[in-house]
Amino acid sequence: MGEIKNISAEFHKKLAMDTFNKTWDLLDKTNRSEAENIEMIHTAHASRYHWGQVGTPLEFQRGEWQISRVYAVLGMGESALFHAETALKTCQEKGIGDFDLAFAYEAIARAYSILKNNAEKEKHLALAKEAGGKITDEGNRDYFFSELETIS
């Protein structure tokens, strides 16, 4: 993929961070409109695109995870699964562990929950719990397990 001409690395980084944060704002909103749901999809993808121009594999992984969460919140299981699997693949190929690996498994379990595939959901919940137990920061570990409990 070629970079869009005349956009500096600093501007890509700013856009990546701003759209990532905007996506979180929308995810946290309790009563989103249909237009805001669509905006949330676009901001998540925009963030990942801009990180793709200037970021590291860690930002790529986190962007894929965030896109997966957006689709999961919207009940779009196949899209959530695609991006969750991409997040996990990035972790595996780039040696990313800890918090991010645990959340990659969490995203896959969440997607399978939406897709009503209980066997795969349980398999990935177990992998998520195993990875989550290895999160070194206690606050991050507690947060992770609180998020894991929201998967039905």
Tell me the C-alpha distance between 42 and 127, whole Å: 30
Q: Say what percent of the chain tops pLDDT 70.
A: 96
Q: Domain locations in the chain?
A: 80-152
Give the pLDDT confidence of 26-38 residue by residue, as tens digits.
999 999 999 999 9
Give the pLDDT confidence of 59-111 residue by residue, as tens digits.
999 999 999 999 999 999 999 999 999 999 999 999 999 999 999 999 999 99
pLDDT-derived band of residue 54, with 50, 70 and 90 as boundaries? very high
Q: Name all contacts of 70-78 with Cβ < 8 Å and 24+ positions apart.
A: 70/23, 70/27, 70/40, 70/41, 70/44, 71/41, 71/111, 72/107, 72/110, 72/111, 72/114, 73/27, 73/40, 74/37, 74/40, 74/41, 75/114, 76/114, 77/111, 77/112, 77/114, 77/115, 78/111, 78/115
Tell me the C-alpha distance between 127 and 84, whole Å: 14
Q: Looking at the predicted structure, is the pLDDT value of residue 5 above 70?
A: no
Question: Which string of b and e fits 77-106 if b means at least 16 CB within 10 Å?
Answer: bebbbbbbbbbbebbeeeebebbbbbbbbb
| Over residues 132-151, mean pLDDT | 97
Q: Looking at the predicted structure, is the pLDDT value of residue 3 above 80?
A: no
